[in-house]
Structure 1
């Protein structure tokens, strides 16, 4: 039996962005380059697809949130995703969560955009409220 996204705890809403991805119809193996002499060219080709993708931020957020350890997601390799995640420290993240909250975004929307869990958003909002009171 073929597994569905639901088997991984995902709903259609979690992946709705994928329908608009530039990679739809592209061989998925293109985004999982094999080690070897041609890997640099293969990675570059996959990244070119991502560069023109309208849902690149969603793809990157998904990959980071789900700890994707292989393949090109959101235009980044696994190593680049780790560096990207490390660069966004908690204070900067809280500030961005505050900005998106003021813009009317839901916890789920913010979580997807920032590659964090909704629980992280709720906790950051609580910290921001405490800071406003102090």
Structure 2
């Protein structure tokens, strides 16, 4: 069977941009994205702490955390949590 020329969006519900307008209100929008989602390296302890400090004062912290908890493939800092913390939260919630 041949693959279609255009692949459908794998996570189509993430393409609903109006539903993601809350992201524009995030404190991280005023910060270098590399501080939360580095492409070239793992975050150091001090970098994680700096990113978490930005998140703690964010007006959309809970919404951001909920968004990331519902999407296990996300990496980096979301809603004042690391990917490891979110995995642990998911396990705790599922139990």
**Cross-structure match for 2:93:** 88
TM-score (norm 2): 0.74
Q: CA deviation at 1:70?
A: 1.5
**Greater helix percent: which structure?**
1
Gapped regions of structure 1 (runs ≥ 5): 1-6, 91-134
Deviation digits for residues 12-41 of structure 1 (CA, Å, limit 9, x no counterpart): 232121121111121111003533xx7000
Gapped regions of structure 2 (runs ≥ 5): 1-8
**Cross-structure match for 1:67:** 72
How many residues are aligned here? Answer: 82
**Cross-structure match for 2:18:** 13
Q: CA deviation at 1:68?
A: 3.4
TM-score (norm 1): 0.54
Rg larger in structure: 1
Residues 98-113 of structure 1: pairs in structure 2 closer than 5 A: none
